Amino acid sequence: MPRKAEISTRISRRGFIQAVGFGAASMLLPGGNKASARKRPTGKPNIVFIMADDMGYGDLGCYNKDSKIATPNIDRLATQGVRFTDAHSPSAVCTPTRYGVLTGRYCWRTWLKSGVVGGYTNPLIEPGRTTVASFLKNQGYRTACIGKWHLGVGWTRSNGYVGSAKDGRKYSSHQDGNPEKGLNVDFTKPIQGGPTDLGFDYAWFTAACSTIDGPFCYIQNDRTVGMPDKKMPIDRDIHPDYRPRPGWMAPGFDVTQVDTVFSGKAVEFIENNCKQTPEKPFFLYLPLSAPHAPWLPPDFVKGRSKEGPRGDLVAWVDWSVGRLLDAIDRLKLAENTLLIMTSDNGPRHGANNHKSAGDLRGYKSHIWEGGHRIPFIARWPGKIEPATTSDEVICLTDLIATCAAIVKKDLPNDAGPDSFNILPALLGKKLRKPIRPAIVHHSVFGVFSIRKDNWKLILDTKTSGGWVRPSGKKPEPGTPGQLYDISKDPYEQNDLWEERRDIVKRLTELLEKYKDQGHSRPI
């Protein structure tokens, strides 16, 4: 595979170890000396997938030596595993990425062609579709979803209507419906189409963005924890970016504590699995809320970064990761646990000259690299070589195919149509050709891009295609797009749309093929 141009946030192996503050001892894996670290675990591994919300390529010390945010736990994780430098989310915003992670399918294949869902939107994942959770559950795993769901749930309305995936956005509202139309939610009823209907044995989650989307409450399995019975107070004095969408709030719900609660529940799930079913491997899906706006850090992380409140939320993510790492090590599970740490899309702007996206162009919501190139770190002692990097192009949709390879079972024919097995890259195997023939990205407004080899084609706009500044236009079919040679121009400064019309034609035809046939993975 051709080597891609190094970007400025990459650092050498030696410099990487020095930058994160670990000496030679950091090369030892948790829980023992070199000999014990190399011991091969037996049986199916536990799989822990931690995903931050809006954490950027330049936020972590292990990706950006000049980061203004201290992330010692995630940096330590990188010294113990592999750090990918060309990993991507399928979308530049929350909901479509989450759909892709769990199903291995690009979300633009659903009714959601742009934007995200709200806390009262109907389920997005179709009943019967194979998810990572349902697949692993069939392979003997205990499965848990703890964190921000943001994939729609089926609330029961007071007129008796129950939200379902087949109805799409029907009755979707940021509020609980219009009481005059009899569509308000009956919170005494169980939800439909949530995590426990899609393969998860246990769930503790919020319906959408934990800190800005109603209802402001936790949901355990299929019932709210407490009864949302008062309107969420909106106090602009708390934070200038505090603009929660209207919604009911349950007693005791605190937007400054959600990730502390999520990480605590995650540790509790792991501990319970060890006590109750130690013979069973587990899959833990932990989509955290931070550092999504509003930037309201809990007191114990305030001031930990030099970037400000948003940076403090990144520090909160790092604290949560440390809590999971400590639990896994304490329970002596490290050698048989694959742990992945990543983000759902690119970041918002950094403050105080902090480069939240490194030197990449663009931010969250954009079709440029800063909107979808993300941190991706994996640790699996005895399997993954510590303190290594990979420039293999991967996507978060690849989780389900990779899990199938790990457990040595084939996916159902209709599962994971856009998922590729990246296990060889995780294990540091030498590859004769790229794992992915191509990768498709999507902006918040529905702008498409497709990357094949060194070329990245953006269609139907010359702008960012997103709402975060610099804001851009929605796609306008038939208008000029953009073309970049990522190997020579990773910061997308030299648009070759006019000069290389042959590449434009070839990649446009490939994208149309992927759309028409319903899959990008050979099936």
Statement: residue 283 has pLDDT above 50: yes
- Predicted local confidence at residue 41, as pLDDT: 40
Q: How high is the pLDDT of residue 309? A: 95
Could you identify the residue written with the tokens 């995903």?
51
How much is the mean pLDDT over the chain?
Answer: 90
At residue 24, the pLDDT reads 31
199-211: average pLDDT: 96
Q: Provide mean pLDDT across the span 407-430.
A: 97
pLDDT at 2 exceeding the cut of 70 = no
In the predicted structure, residue 243 carries a pLDDT above the cut 70: no
Contact 32, 270 (CB under 8 A): no
By 3-state DSSP, what share of the chain in percent is helix, strand and coil, each rounded to 5? 25, 15, 60
Over 90: is that where the pLDDT of 515 sits?
yes
Residue 240 has pLDDT above 90, yes or no: no
pLDDT tens digits, 375-391: 999 999 999 999 999 99
- How many of the other CB atoms lie within 10 Å of CB of 69? 27
- Is a pLDDT exceeding 70 seen at residue 18? no
Q: Angle 309-330/258-276 helices, nearest 10 degrees?
A: 10
What is the reported pLDDT for 244? 65
Pairing of strands 439-442, 230-231: unpaired
> 342 and 87 in contact (C-beta within 8 Å)?
yes
Q: Could you give the angle at the alpha carbon of 327 between the alpha carbons of 68 and 64, nearest 5°?
A: 20
What confidence tier does 122 reach under pLDDT thresholds 50, 70, 90?
A: very high
Looking at residue 331, what DSSP letter applies? T
Position 247 confidence tier, pLDDT thresholds 50, 70, 90: confident
CATH class label, 439-517? alpha beta
Q: What is the mean pLDDT of residues 317-332?
A: 98
Q: CA-CA distance, 57 to 13, in Å (whole number)?
A: 18
Token pair of 1, please?
């595979």
pLDDT at 180 over 70: no
Q: What is the gyration radius of the CA atoms in the chain, in angstroms?
A: 22
Q: Is the pLDDT of residue 98 over 50?
A: yes
Residue 234 predicted with pLDDT over 80:
no
Percentage with pLDDT > 90 across the chain: 81
Query: At residue 168, does pLDDT exceed 90?
Result: no
Domain boundaries, the chain: 41-426, 439-517
Contacts of 510 (CB under 8 A, 6+ apart): 438, 450, 452
List the single range of 17-31, 68-82, 288-302, 396-410 with lowest mean pLDDT.
17-31
pLDDT at 241 over 90: no
Q: How do beta strands 248-249 and 230-231 pair?
A: antiparallel
Q: What is the Cα–Cα distance from 325 to 445, expressed in whole angstroms? A: 37
DSSP for 155-196? PBBTTS-B--GGGTTTT--SSS--GGGT--B-TTSPPBSSGG
CATH superfamily of this structure's domain 41-426: Alkaline Phosphatase, subunit A (3.40.720.10)
* Residue 444: closest CA among 344, 338, 523, 521: 344
Using DSSP, state whether 133 is helix, strand or coil. Answer: helix
pLDDT surpassing 50 at residue 349: yes
Asked whether the predicted pLDDT for residue 10 surpasses 70, the reply is no
Residue-wise pLDDT tens digits, 109-118: 999 999 999 8
Q: Residue 265: which residues within 8 A CB-CB, separation 6 or more?
A: 146, 204
Query: Which of 7-21, 244-258, 311-325, 475-489 is predicted least confidently?
Result: 7-21
pLDDT for the residue 176: 57
- Note the pLDDT tens digit of each residue in 462-473: 999 999 999 999
